[in-house]
Amino acid sequence: MFSFYQIASILLSYAVAHAIFVSIYRLTLHPYAKYPGPPIAKLTNWHAVYHAYKGDVHLHVEQCHKKYGKIVRIRPNAILVNSVTGFHDIYGNGKKVKKAEGYKIHGHANLIGIRDKAVYAKSKKIFQQGFSDTMNREHEPKVIQVINTFIEKLAENESPAENSGEWTNAKIMNQWCTWLATDVVTKVIFTTSWDLLTSAANRGVTGCLKAAVHITGILHTWPFLPGHEVTALLCFPHIAWSIPFLEQYANSVIKSSQEARVKDPSIKDVFGIFGAAKDTDTGKVALSKTAVRENTMTFIIAGSDTTASSLAATFFYLARNPEAYAKVAEEVRSTFPSASSICTGPALNSCTYLRAAITESMRLSPVAPQPLMREAEAGCIVDGEPIPKGLNVGCSIHTLQHNPTVFSNPYKWDMSRRLMDPSKDASEEKERIKEISRSFAPFSVGPRQCIAKNFAMMEMYLTMANVFWNLDFESAGSLGEGKQGEFVMKSYFTAFMEGPQIRFRKRKGVEW
């Protein structure tokens, strides 16, 4: 009979031998062995887990491409391709890829986690109903109502003793933009909301949302996918704590939404649309209560932090570029005769400086900076490279949008990139802007791009147009400033920023 020490010695020997065998295979015989990359990344996923936890995936990936070239082996079973062609070969329509296994953590009923293309296509038709162009027009009054509250709060001085003339005290805009975006998306989905702009009672939910996105980014790189909830709780209890609290916040807003429906059955919102959606084949209710709940919460997370990050970045860059600021202010104030006249339509679409400022901010601060991994199917070819079936391939949107071959001086915020230069050849300018558009993908592209991107852009355009019409603003601190003047961000599953510090004052001659 073996003793405990003999058994332990045998198991340890087996583990060491297994590790040596796997390491030799991954370094020499693996289909991705020919691609360069960090040596440790070729051996283990823990390298990716570390950077996901640290929140610097976007910077690490960019450094790897600079050191190793266009194609980098970033994990044992994954490569990243840094080219416009490669990006569209991976994420474009009709490509021979599907979502990587890491997306299983979202659950089979969650739209973002569905890997089967046919199932996804059917589900997408249901969820698109909540954010179609028709529904976005229905949502617009709710959005404007919350934006008006946002404007009023920005104009308030929280600490009168700190007041300097007509200016408010400095406001930390990632917080205010998060409260705005969360109130907007909950109003649109549930009709009721946590009212974060006007009350501090539920503002703890933003910390839960941030922690949930952080743990999601880590689990997407996790080597032990089965039982990910338990391993996450054991290894990252200081982050995983957020999940039960987030469920409590979700229960509260769902309960208030249901109570509102009892009082007013005519309420029309996204929650109601999802709950009433019918299966086109059977005619029965398409989504279970669990599926409706999971997906509405996903939309809240996606619709709050991503929009908030983009708005915070827009404030950051415009406050540091006075010439661009002046052009946007003049454009908005000359286009609309009053704040109440600001709405979607031809007038808002004509504000080219406003649109250029927002999109340039989204280029420098993309909302999805982590690579969105895809699993290759048979016949997959990316930028001329055949990808073996079952292995992962991806592209970093952050690296794509900082490509110096497309964006000259890529770390510089320059909204003129999006505008035609009348002093140059028109055909060359059109080609330049076309190439920029192909390299700009903050919501990704193809069949799996964000289905609510038009809603998100509508919210951002309406918000910034209202801010410029009602208020002046300027930088009031260095929070968020990084190297080369870029807005510092963390790359969890989505982007998170801290700052900027901005102060406001009411425009002279504008009635309130």
Contacting residues for 308 by C-beta, under 8 A, at least 6 apart? 174, 177, 178, 180, 181, 182
Structure tokens at 342: 């600001």
Quick: pLDDT tens for 324-348: 999 999 999 999 999 999 999 999 9
pLDDT of residue 187: 96
Q: Whole-prediction pTM value?
A: 0.94
C-beta atoms surrounding 263 within 10 Å:
7
Give the CA count within 13 Å in the CB-facing half-sphere of 157. 13
pLDDT of residue 109: 87
What is the bridge-based pairing of β-strands 392-394 and 78-81? parallel
pLDDT of residue 244: 83
Confidence of residue 15 (pLDDT cuts 50, 70, 90): confident
- CA distances to 44, 53, 356, 492 from 306, in Å: 30, 19, 18, 11
pLDDT of residue 2: 65
Contacting residues for 225 by C-beta, under 8 A, at least 6 apart? 101, 102, 104, 105
Q: Are 83 and 440 in contact (CB under 8 A)?
A: no
DSSP code string of 323-392: HHHHHHHHHHHHH-SSGGG--SSHHHHT-HHHHHHHHHHHHHS-S--S---EEEPTT-EETTEE--TT-E
CA pair distance 441, 363, nearest whole angstrom? 8
pLDDT of residue 166: 87
**Superfamily, domain 31-506:** Cytochrome P450 (1.10.630.10)
Asked if pLDDT for residue 229 goes beyond 80, the answer is: no
Structure tokens at 214: 């952080």
Quick: pLDDT tens for 451-480: 999 999 999 999 999 999 999 999 999 999
Q: Which of 75-89, 123-137, 139-153, 239-253 has the lowest mean pLDDT?
A: 239-253
pLDDT of residue 160: 56
Q: Is 351 annotated as a binding residue?
A: no
Q: End-to-end alpha-carbon separation of the chain, Å?
A: 88
For the chain, give every domain's residue range: 31-506
Quick: pLDDT tens for 311-322: 999 999 999 999
Give the CA count within 13 Å in the CB-facing half-sphere of 21. 6
CA pair distance 193, 190, nearest whole angstrom? 7
State the average pLDDT over residues 283-302: 87
CA 162 centroid distance within chain:
35
Structure tokens at 222: 């996790």
